[in-house]
Structure 1
Amino acid sequence: MTLKVCNPTRRHILKGLGAATLLSPLCTLPAWGAQSHRLYVDGLSFLPNDINDVKASKLDAFIADVSAIETIEQSDGTKNYKRTYQACINSIKQAVNSVNANPDVYLQGLTGTDIEKARSQQRTAVYFQIQGADCVEADGISVNGNLPIWPQLDSLHQHGLRVLQLTHHYGNRFAGGALDNNGNQGLNKPLTDAGRELIAELNQRNILIDVSHSSEQTALDTAKASQSPIVLSHGAARHFVNHARCSSDEVIRAIGDSGGVFGVFMMSFWLTNNPTPTIEDYIDQLEYIAKVGGVDCVAIANDFPLRGQENLIALNNNNSEGVKEYLDWWHSLQSKNVLGFDVEPKHVVIPEFNHIDRMSRIDDALKKARFKSSDRDRFMGGNWQRVLKKVLV
């Protein structure tokens, strides 16, 4: 399959790689170690309870959400999930302990080059992420009139935070959230002044900025404000499903132009409106992101545990039964007129990908769809590796 690349932008002016090299049909990315498969990187999952899942997943690296949440009942009856500083600093310390307790399996990812180090040692690099900047509470403290300090952000970074999502579903004092909207209005909630200060601080500390769950305007503002590439670690294209949790072409393009990546996740009700989700629906998403954002923008994400959505696995991937657990939440947002919640979901997962071996299966599906080997290198992990090496220095 031949993919067209958009007009040259910042994503083509990457350190060590010229535009001509990226566009060449003969281009191949470097080999990583002696493994039999290409580089596999998952843009969002979780530390598993069963350490054997890490090896079984075949992942060379993954971004792990280590958030701890407090459930908050909002005045309109819907629920928000706030990541407080104290909850998150405790959870990140627990995650460090879990990684350190399994040195033959994990390498805590602190810089982008840790992927290569882990791969050469037959280990998996894990990068800690928090879904929502609510954990940064007491920020910008001036001491004796000196420049502000950000003690909580510094503490989280020192313990290993390397990716920070600005919001989770709903907005905060930094940014607008994807599900804030009433109809289309919430899509326009911008990055706030405090958010711009936070972006500058994240850039300074080499923390990767993630606009998953952000409003459309916040994502666009962040792409302009950040001096480093930004990512949308887990999402989907609104071209296929007109939903607030999916991204417009403008957002996809802005992420690609920043030099970042867009990870397509496994939640099938945001991948397709077809009554039965298929492998082809997922491949269509990847192809579309490549068309709009460029081949260097496409990445793989999960948003479920490594082995998959566990309730669906227990139901033998019976989507008609498994989707029922989402309906109360869905209906609560339908009543608020949030974009896309007027269409009730029919499924949760693509059965073939709700499996511990999904990365190999996606790779095989791309091959079957006749994608070039060099594009598969990018999609399956090369693009994630490039961005992590660029930002996490």
Structure 2
Amino acid sequence: MRYFIVLLIVLSSCKSSPDKESESKTFIEIHNEAIVIDTHNDILMKTADLGIMLDQDLTGKTHSDLNRWKKGGLDVQIFSVYSDGGVENAFTLANRQMDSLDAAIARNPNKIIKVANSDMILKAINENKIAAMFGVEGGHMIEDDLNKLEALYKRGARYLTLTHNVAPSWATSAADETTNPNLPQKGLTDFGIQVVTKMNELGMMIDVSHSGDQTFWDVIKITNKPIIASHSSVYSLVPSRRNLKDDQIKAIATNGGVIMINFHPGFIDNSFGEKEMAFLEKYSIEGDSLMNSGMDEWYMMDYLYKKYTTEAELMRPPLSKLIDHIDYIVKLVGVDYVGLGSDFDGINLTPLQLDDVSTYPVITKALLEKGYNEKDIVKILGSNFLRVLKANEI
């Protein structure tokens, strides 16, 4: 049984009282005592696409399942509710994915529970349960309807990623703004401003991962609550359109928000893109055949990586690349504005050592070896996000 002083946990996200001998703790002790939060996992996409259940043993099939979350010391998972921006009936699909999590929770009430706020998170952890929330990835899923936005919030969505690559009608994505020079407008439309305002009123966090630069700056100007980037990394280290530039990182810090670092090799390792292109070119005939048979491009790539494991392993970046992105933000704006947004099960390959959700402790080990103290590690693992969640709550 874990005991808490609520105020202390909100400030420190530690499951036990501070230890005067914290310097001598092992990384496992620090990890187990911290509240570990991951703000972006795409397993619900796979439950819908593949007909799997997250309370099954999915080792070798996915990065995630219920028992491996527990093994990795994860306390809070925000489940991404995702569909491609061009899909029809996106709101219906969002609810179907939410249904799959609700069903898993109903089957495992002693292991996982859906929560609505920071107080419920602390209660769930005290009961040794994983606290679950939803994050809706893509504003297209509200179908230009504020009532549907509110309906998703009531079902447990605590953030909305304003855009995915294919953006809604009311906000431009990073993909839009970097590949389409003839956009009629950039950033938020009048309806987009209504969405941001409504989210502030609801207490629903605004997620700027995938947002175009103009959308980002429009949000910064409008919001009266701290924002998040649920799964992004650092542009100065890897100049991907999906990563955040220094002025954006500084703006999020000034806003009191938090940047949750994405584990995707293409966002943390400059050399990965070239390696991936060479791999896909080598197996292009096989890949094209799979796609011509009806397989989605993402699953085609996943299939090839699993089939040609030795080559795929050589493409995975070292864990230090991920730590570099955390360290960059800490040095730029301080330790209070960074966390973890893995993108597990939404990415095909992961950094070395981070094979799946059971391996979160290696991050704690790497941070400790980098020279971070326990207090700062606890912030990175979960405290920073809890602060932002609480600041958004009504």
| TM > 0.5 | yes
Tell me the equivalent position of 2:23: none
Within 5 A, what are the aligned runs for 1:286-325?
Answer: 286-305=326-345
User: Cα distance, 1:30 vs. partner?
Assistant: 5.4
Partner of residue 279 from structure 1, selected from 316, 319, 323: 319
Tell me the equivalent position of 1:251: 248
1:269 counterpart = 2:283:
no
1:52 counterpart = 2:54:
no
User: Cα distance, 1:197 vs. partner?
Assistant: 0.5
CA distance in 1, matches of 2:392, 2:122: 15
CA distance in 1, matches of 2:182, 2:111: 43
CA distance in 2, matches of 1:389, 1:178: 28
Deviations along 1:308-339, one digit per CA (max 9) or x if unpaired, are: 96x6xxxxxxxxxxxxxxxxxxxxxxxxxxxx
User: Cα distance, 1:189 vs. partner?
Assistant: 2.5
- SS of residue matched to 2:260: strand
- SS of residue matched to 1:227: coil
User: Cα distance, 1:205 vs. partner?
Assistant: 0.8
Deviations along 1:56-109, one digit per CA (max 9) or x if unpaired, are: 231110111133x2574xxxxxxxx57711221232233223223211111212
Tell me the equivalent position of 1:4: none
1:31 counterpart = 2:14:
yes
CA distance in 2, matches of 1:166, 1:156: 14
Tell me the equivalent position of 1:63: 78
CA distance in 2, matches of 1:361, 1:186: 45
- TM-score, scaled to structure 2: 0.72
Report if the CA contact (8 A) 2:113-2:124 is conserved: yes
- SS of residue matched to 1:122: coil
CA distance in 2, matches of 1:165, 1:181: 16
- TM-score, scaled to structure 1: 0.73
Within 5 A, what are the aligned runs for 1:59-138?
Answer: 59-67=74-82, 69=83, 72=86, 84-137=90-143
Deviations along 1:235-259, one digit per CA (max 9) or x if unpaired, are: 1111011121111111111111111
Question: 1:86 is matched by which residue type in structure 2?
Answer: T
User: Cα distance, 1:370 vs. partner?
Assistant: 0.6
CA distance in 2, matches of 1:237, 1:224: 22
Tell me the equivalent position of 1:142: none
Which blocks of at least 5 consecutive residues in structure 1 are unaligned?
1-15, 18-27, 73-80, 140-149, 312-347
Partner of residue 177 from structure 1, selected from 173, 177, 202: 173
CA distance in 1, matches of 2:89, 2:137: 8
Tell me the equivalent position of 2:293: none
Between structures 1 and 2, the one with greater helix share: 2
In structure 2, relative to structure 1, the CA distance for the partners of 1:186 and 1:357 (3 Å cut) is farther
Higher alpha-carbon deviation: 238-247 or 38-47: 38-47
Report if the CA contact (8 A) 2:174-2:242 is conserved: yes
In structure 2, relative to structure 1, the CA distance for the partners of 1:186 and 1:382 (3 Å cut) is farther
User: Cα distance, 1:166 vs. partner?
Assistant: 0.4
Deviations along 1:143-174, one digit per CA (max 9) or x if unpaired, are: xxxxxxx3212222222221111011132222
User: Cα distance, 1:278 vs. partner?
Assistant: 1.4
Tell me the equivalent position of 2:360: 359
CA distance in 1, matches of 2:238, 2:181: 18
Number of residue pairs the alignment of both structures matches: 310
Higher alpha-carbon deviation: 84-93 or 265-274: 84-93
User: Cα distance, 1:33 vs. partner?
Assistant: 4.8
CA distance in 1, matches of 2:271, 2:343: 21
Tell me the equivalent position of 1:368: 369
In structure 2, relative to structure 1, the CA distance for the partners of 1:49 and 1:178 (3 Å cut) is farther
User: Cα distance, 1:49 vs. partner?
Assistant: 4.8
- SS of residue matched to 2:335: coil
Tell me the equivalent position of 2:350: 349
CA distance in 2, matches of 1:226, 1:83: 29
Report if the CA contact (8 A) 2:226-2:256 is conserved: yes
Question: 2:359 is matched by which residue type in structure 1?
Answer: R
Report if the CA contact (8 A) 2:262-2:342 is conserved: yes
Question: 1:105 is matched by which residue type in structure 2?
Answer: K
Within 5 A, what are the aligned runs for 1:126-165?
Answer: 126-137=132-143, 139=145, 150-165=146-161
- SS of residue matched to 2:40: strand
User: Cα distance, 1:383 vs. partner?
Assistant: 0.5
CA distance in 2, matches of 1:178, 1:370: 34
In structure 2, relative to structure 1, the CA distance for the partners of 1:103 and 1:196 (3 Å cut) is same
User: Cα distance, 1:303 vs. partner?
Assistant: 0.4
In structure 2, relative to structure 1, the CA distance for the partners of 1:252 and 1:186 (3 Å cut) is farther
- SS of residue matched to 1:198: helix
Which blocks of at least 5 consecutive residues in structure 2 are unaligned?
1-6, 18-28, 45-53, 57-65, 273-314
Tell me the equivalent position of 2:232: 235
Q: CA RMSD in A?
A: 2.6
- SS of residue matched to 1:378: helix
In structure 2, relative to structure 1, the CA distance for the partners of 1:297 and 1:71 (3 Å cut) is closer
Tell me the equivalent position of 2:62: none
Question: 1:109 is matched by which residue type in structure 2?
Answer: V
- SS of residue matched to 2:330: helix
Identity over aligned pairs, percent: 28
User: Cα distance, 1:351 vs. partner?
Assistant: 1.6
